[in-house]
Structure 1
Amino acid sequence: MPALTPRSLTPRSLTRPDLQDRLDRMVAEGDMPGAQLAVLVDGAVTTVASGVLNITTGQPATTASLFQVGSIGKLWTATAAMQLVQEGVLDLDEPIRAHLPELSVGDEVTSANVTMRHLLTHTSGIEGDVFDDTGNNDDALARYVELLATLPPVHALGATWSYCNAGFGIAGLLIARQAGTTFEQAIRDRLVVPLGIERFAWNADEAILLGAAVGHVPGPDGQPVVTPTYSFPRNAAPAGLVTITAADLLAFAAAHLDDGGPLLSADLAVAMRTPQVDCPSHLADRWGLGFMIHDWDGTTVVGHGGATIGQFAELYMVPEHDVAVALLVNGSRGRSDHALLSGVLADTCGAALPPIPTPSAGTVTDPARYIGRYSRLGVDLEVALDGDDLVLTRKVHGALADIPGEESMTMPLHPTGEVGRLLARVPGRAVVHAPVILHGVDDERPAYLHMGGRAHVRSDQPT
């Protein structure tokens, strides 16, 4: 299938002027520098753009501009892995060591038994947020995977779900090793060329030639400023360095909606969006082989979100209606983008995007069950009482602390009306609450605190 050619939407959808008006309002109300929106209905795609790519230069955002889509790129990695399954080279349930015999992830049981299914479903337990820069040479990905040997796992293999960037680094190395080339070239050969995509980049050197957005984060006065770093290092390519237009991102989505199109057989394309594991996170209800899976009032929606340094992206696909929506933003997200996505999905296919979570009245019931310390690499969390109020203190350290937007803070915790699910009030953001999910075998003493999609393991001892 060639890259989709933008044209008018069908009558059951939205007009181009209406989409433009909605995006313009989102950018203005959300204080976002720029954005790009693409909508796919029955094979027809419309793209609109608004704002600027860089508030310093004032370069306008156009429908041809490239944006980083962050972790949406994991779907590209997962698709390439499933192509290896289709070719008979890879079995989803065989140990990764069958292809990477040197693999070591800090725990011998996990190292010897982790599979591609574990990696694609974020159930490996491997420490996921390793942001060390291993250089810009072709061995950057192999050197990155070597780093994992020194880090103990977050949890036992398959014990729970925890978002894992590093797992996709391992998957990417396997894909590159099988291709006999770099991961980036393997994705170009396997996905970019078959889809007919011409405007595509992996890094700043490539993106600068094509007209690309730069990231923005809130400055001291709350207004957006350009990030000092353009992107994560090269070793992050399998986890999220795809840089593309919204229209071309929907060419990828269209292939999956077409049961694989030129990329995969129908059975494997469907398998990718078939639930594999429940997800103890606000990110999704369940996880497929790469895809986030949502159940919105009986409508199944699949896709993925993405966040890089000052850029955010969202891809939603509604298979039963052959609808897909991609929103790419080069600044902080908030209520205005939620309103836009909610309206577009409702008007194109009737899908109801869940509302932004808001707390219930009162204080957290039985706070003692949650009090304690929870940790993962680079982040220490403590839930404690401040008078009658439950609060969460987040301390960030190591390489994670060097990423713009990652910071230490104390947040009040509020109830949601559901045991084990709380909301943390994020300071400095206009009425933004971050979901906090605590769970484990013992509900009276949760073993895990999930925040930002990551499992933080209880690290204090019972008294």
Structure 2
Amino acid sequence: MSENAHIDSALTDFVAATAAEYGMPGIAVGVWVDGREIHANVGVTSTENPVPITEHTIFAIGSTSKTFTTTALMQLVAAGRVDLDAPVRTYVPELELIDEESAATITVRQLLNHTAGLEWNVINNTGDGADGLAAFVATLAELPLIGAPGERASYSQAGFNLLGRVIEKVTGESFEKVVADTVLEPVGLDESFYFQGDVMTRRFAAGHERQQDGGLEVSRAWKGSRANNPGGGLGSTVSDLLRWGRFHLGDGRTESGATVLPAELMHRMQQPTVELRASTLADAFGLCWMLRDVDGVRTVGHDGSGFGQFANFQLVPERDFAVVVLSNASPDGIPANQAIIRWALEHYLGVVDKDPEPAPFDAERAPELFGVYDIDAMTMTCYADGDQLYLDCRVKPEIRAAAGAEIPQDHPPFPFGLLPGGDEYVVTDGSFQGQRGYFTRNTNGDIIAIDLAGRVFTRLS
């Protein structure tokens, strides 16, 4: 325990109980409240090579990495080297997409708030060489589009990896070097790394996958390939992430007073740019940040996941509050982390976050929901078993065969219920409990898509 860390027995007890309830090998939690850090660390880094979890244990933080990418990009905006409303081709002229008009008109801002119309991602491995990101961008012509630029929001990993290439083209440096030099080092984040060679010499957590027999198996993949670094490739610790949270609760200056990002741009990142409907991800996207109003207060955050590791990172700016939860087992890291986040909000701020209640099962209406829905890498089947609706979401066999260990295992089907009075729904149990989404209709009233976790699945049948 570092000299700046404090213990709250209530937090420690809740984290320990949650880890036991969900069978988690290890959980690290940090809270910034009332001007002090509070830590709770439970369990071990790996079931095969158990080392105690501390606030300095490195976890793969997945999409929470996007907040670092965005901060580095906003520095280029501050310097006048990137215009948020300029077409991406201004900086990456070689960009090709399946639709030429989209390729020519997508803007930097639309990548930042997931309104570029890009599908989730291209699942390919372009290697860990310096050209990995450039090679990835060269494959974006294979990526389906979910709509015209600016038409609607749909969470896209590919869009953020493309932003990494914008950074490379503008600076002439590798993406990782730019973030390290302009963000990690100035803010004092000396426990955060993109490359596994930097991670493996320090204390780090291994991800775990729950098997059909209930046991846990260590994930042999720790993170994706280099091309995925902008969207989800950073490893970090609770200690560093709390420092990162304090930085984004501030005015763009470090603890020493040096300006990393002008306050106006810091605050602009946290302002709504596009509203979301019935999404657990957020009520709105800022510039990268996910914005939610919870029990009368605005939260700002960005969670992440991958290969049996989960990161939850939430700020409450008006209360100078941050909470970080890192865990290392799938799929139950999702509800375990959420339970701890909700407990911390209520315990320290009196803010209550709870799920909406679904309407009773409607046997006459349910069949219009049934069918197969699709994104680039996954298919989802909506069906009922008795009076319970389910969403069964699975990676396509050809994608899994091509990517191998790069793809985490599928989750069990998600039970869900429609919310009263419309096409919105909530997942009622399992690893995605509390996730919200909605069914989309065309002008004839026919259901043509379903939104899950901020991604649009198009109906096939």
Q: What is the TM-score with the length of structure 2 in the denominator?
A: 0.90
1:274 to 271, 275, 279: 271
Task: Tell me the equivalent position of 1:109.
Answer: 101
Could you give the per-residue CA deviations for residues 261-281 of structure 1, whole angstroms, max 9, x where no partner exists?
232111111110100111232
Output the CA distance in 1 between the equivalents of 2:267 and 2:3. Answer: 25
Output the CA distance in 2 between the equivalents of 1:208 and 1:57. Answer: 13
Task: Tell me the equivalent position of 1:11.
Answer: none
Output the CA distance in 2 between the equivalents of 1:119 and 1:320. Answer: 27
CA contact (8 A) 1:6 1:247 kept: no
Task: Tell me the equivalent position of 1:347.
Answer: 347
Superposition RMSD in Å: 2.5
Could you give the per-residue CA deviations for residues 145-190 of structure 1, whole angstroms, max 9, x where no partner exists?
1110122312221221111000001100111222221111110011
Task: Tell me the equivalent position of 2:256.
Answer: none
Could you give the per-residue CA deviations for residues 260-311 of structure 1, whole angstroms, max 9, x where no partner exists?
2232111111110100111232211111001000011221001111101100
Please identify, of 430-439 and 139-148, the stretch whose mean Cα deviation from structure 2 is larger: 430-439
Instruction: Give, as a single letter, the amino acid of the residue that structure 2 aligns with 1:337.
Output: N
Could you give the per-residue CA deviations for residues 112-168 of structure 1, whole angstroms, max 9, x where no partner exists?
011111001011111222221101100000001111012231222122111100000
1:158 to 129, 150, 158: 150
CA contact (8 A) 2:312 2:337 kept: no
Could you give the per-residue CA deviations for residues 355-410 of structure 1, whole angstroms, max 9, x where no partner exists?
3x554333366335434443211223344567876554545313357455443876
Instruction: Give, as a single letter, the amino acid of the residue that structure 2 aligns with 1:83.
Output: Q
CA contact (8 A) 1:125 1:160 kept: yes
CA contact (8 A) 1:6 1:47 kept: no
1:20 to 1, 5, 12: 12
Could you give the per-residue CA deviations for residues 222-268 of structure 1, whole angstroms, max 9, x where no partner exists?
22221121211111100011111112112111111112223211111
Please identify, of 209-218 and 250-259, the stretch whose mean Cα deviation from structure 2 is larger: 250-259
CA contact (8 A) 1:286 1:293 kept: yes
Task: Tell me the equivalent position of 1:414.
Answer: 417
Task: Tell me the equivalent position of 1:360.
Answer: 359
Report the CA distance between 1:440 and its aligned residue: 4.4
Cα distance change, pair 365–265 in 1 and its aligned pair in 2 (3 A): farther
Cα distance change, pair 442–202 in 1 and its aligned pair in 2 (3 A): same
Does residue 312 (structure 1) correspond to residue 310 (structure 2)? The answer is yes
Output the CA distance in 2 between the equivalents of 1:246 and 1:266. Answer: 24
Does residue 263 (structure 1) correspond to residue 263 (structure 2)? The answer is no
Task: Tell me the equivalent position of 1:442.
Answer: 443
CA contact (8 A) 1:53 1:59 kept: yes
1:285 to 278, 283, 286: 283
Please identify, of 211-220 and 254-263, the stretch whose mean Cα deviation from structure 2 is larger: 254-263
CA contact (8 A) 2:327 2:337 kept: no
1:297 to 295, 298, 302: 295
Q: What is the TM-score with the length of structure 1 in the denominator?
A: 0.90
Output the CA distance in 1 between the equivalents of 2:102 and 2:280. Answer: 26
Report the CA distance between 1:109 and its aligned residue: 1.2
CA contact (8 A) 1:374 1:457 kept: yes
Instruction: Give, as a single letter, the amino acid of the residue that structure 1 aligns with 2:311.
Output: A
Please identify, of 210-219 and 19-28, the stretch whose mean Cα deviation from structure 2 is larger: 19-28
CA contact (8 A) 2:334 2:432 kept: no
Output the CA distance in 2 between the equivalents of 1:246 and 1:389. Answer: 39
Superposed, which structure 2 residues align to 1:142-181 within 5 Å? Answer: 142-181=134-173
CA contact (8 A) 1:438 1:448 kept: yes
Output the CA distance in 2 between the equivalents of 1:338 and 1:392. Answer: 20
CA contact (8 A) 2:66 2:288 kept: yes
Task: Tell me the equivalent position of 1:333.
Answer: 333
Instruction: Give, as a single letter, the amino acid of the residue that structure 2 aligns with 1:419.
Output: G
Structure 1: segments with no counterpart, 5+ residues: 9-14
Task: Tell me the equivalent position of 2:380.
Answer: 381
- Secondary structure at 1:422 match in 2: strand
- Secondary structure at 1:351 match in 2: coil
Report the CA distance between 1:29 and its aligned residue: 1.7
Instruction: Give, as a single letter, the amino acid of the residue that structure 2 aligns with 1:416.
Output: L
Cα distance change, pair 243–157 in 1 and its aligned pair in 2 (3 A): same
Please identify, of 24-33 and 298-307, the stretch whose mean Cα deviation from structure 2 is larger: 24-33
Output the CA distance in 2 between the equivalents of 1:41 and 1:410. Answer: 37
Please identify, of 383-392 and 55-64, the stretch whose mean Cα deviation from structure 2 is larger: 383-392
Instruction: Give, as a single letter, the amino acid of the residue that structure 2 aligns with 1:272.
Output: M
Report the CA distance between 1:216 and its aligned residue: 0.6
Output the CA distance in 2 between the equivalents of 1:300 and 1:328. Answer: 22
- Secondary structure at 1:225 match in 2: strand
CA contact (8 A) 2:359 2:420 kept: yes
Instruction: Give, as a single letter, the amino acid of the residue that structure 1 aligns with 2:260.
Output: L
Output the CA distance in 2 between the equivalents of 1:197 and 1:431. Answer: 31
Superposed, which structure 2 residues align to 1:4-83 within 5 Å? Answer: 6-8=4-6, 15-83=7-75
